């Protein structure tokens, strides 16, 4: 199966300061894992910069202007854990632009699936707020681009990051054309994602208690989340692929292993085969134990390649 990987080495220049979990080594470890011989057939693509039009399709124009106006000569704490540095603006533009370009490549049939290996993550970024390490919401940019450029009527974003994607939910909360389905730890940052948060019927949350392992995680997806996504019948499936639900991750307490991420990826591919001609775009979100992140990405991309 032809799978594309979008990345850009400028993402190594997004500096979060010493001892920050969202560090440049995250991308180094992921890219090193994807250099193994089994990935020789991957289509390697450079993530382009997002356009202003792509950004303001999901973010308030004043918020986009404010990010562009941040000083680029020093580290700036946007909030308690979100840091802007001299390398940040180009990095986050290429994260969002890579997501849109991955949609184009899949919709054009030049790849059957794509994985965007960029940092920082994006799913906490709301329409008018950067937070949780995130500046622009890459998944939301990808979904809106798919609708604007390709005329899609139904796009689904599925999110298995250990943290709830409050930003993606907020952006699409009143939009029946985009579904958001998430499993995540609760209680945990950012404190959103209860089952009662349903939008206009397009939001499906499955909060999981700390200590949840493989069996309960798979059951949640098998019995609730995957059937609801299948019922929505998306024309494109976007994955917010966070790997911080791994048992080794230092920021949360779920107990997943690499085979769980491979299993869910395979299930999502099967759903995409049925609903949307196999069209899948996956975006790297969280994952903060470096070895676990690298091996989880390896399992995820192998599954995207149907190996």
- Cα separations (Å) of 167 from 130, 133, 148, 189, 217? 9, 12, 20, 12, 22
Token pair belonging to 34: 């994807």
For 213-237, b where at least 16 C-beta lie within 10 A, e where not — what string?
A: eeeebbebbeebbbebbeebebbbb
How far CA 90 is from CA of 8, 84, 100, 235, 288, in Å, comes to 10, 11, 15, 30, 22
Q: Which residues pair with 206 in a beta bridge?
A: 183
In the residue annotation, 124 being an active-site residue is answered as: yes
The residues, any chain, with a CB within 8 Å of residue 11's CB and separated by 6 or more, are 24, 27, 91, 94, 95, 118, 119
Q: What is the CA radius of gyration of the chain?
A: 17
* Distance, CA of 202 to CA of 232 (rounded, Å): 8
Catalytic residue (one of 124, 145, 246, 300): 124
Q: Which residues contact 190 (CB under 8 A, 6 or more apart)?
A: 124, 131, 132, 163, 164, 166
Q: CA-to-CA distance for 25 and 202, rounded, in angstroms?
A: 36
Active site residues: 124
């Amino acid at each position: 199966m032809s799978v594309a990987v979008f990345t850009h080495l400028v993402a190594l220049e997004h500096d979060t300061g010493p001892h920050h979990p969202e560090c440049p080594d995250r991308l180094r470890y992921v890219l090193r894992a994807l250099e193994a011989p089994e990935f020789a057939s991957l289509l390697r693509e450079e993530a382009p910069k997002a356009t202003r039009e792509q950004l303001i399709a999901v973010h308030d124009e004043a918020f986009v202007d404010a990010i562009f106006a941040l000083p680029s000569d020093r580290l700036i704490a946007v909030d308690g854990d979100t840091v802007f540095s001299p390398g940040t603006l180009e990095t986050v533009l290429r994260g969002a632009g890579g997501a849109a370009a991955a949609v184009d490549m899949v919709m054009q049939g030049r790849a059957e699936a794509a994985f965007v290996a960029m940092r920082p993550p994006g799913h906490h970024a709301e329409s008018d707020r950067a937070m949780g390490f995130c500046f622009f919401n890459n998944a939301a940019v990808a979904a809106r681009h798919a609708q604007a450029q390709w005329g899609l009527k139904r796009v689904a974003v599925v999110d298995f990051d250990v943290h709830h994607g409050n930003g993606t939910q907020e952006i699409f909360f009143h939009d029946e054309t985009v579904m958001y389905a998430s499993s995540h730890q609760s209680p945990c940052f950012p404190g959103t994602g209860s089952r009662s948060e349903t939008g206009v019927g397009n939001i499906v949350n499955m909060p999981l208690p700390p200590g949840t392992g493989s069996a309960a995680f798979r059951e949640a997806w098998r019995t609730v989340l995957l059937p609801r996504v299948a019922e929505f019948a998306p024309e494109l499936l976007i994955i917010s692929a966070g790997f911080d639900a791994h048992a080794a991750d230092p920021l949360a307490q779920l107990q997943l292993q690499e085979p769980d991420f491979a299993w869910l990826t395979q299930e999502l591919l099967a759903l995409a085969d049925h609903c949307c001609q196999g069209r899948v775009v996956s975006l790297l979100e969280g994952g903060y134990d470096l070895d676990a992140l690298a091996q989880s990405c390896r399992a995820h991309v192998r599954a995207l390649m149907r190996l």
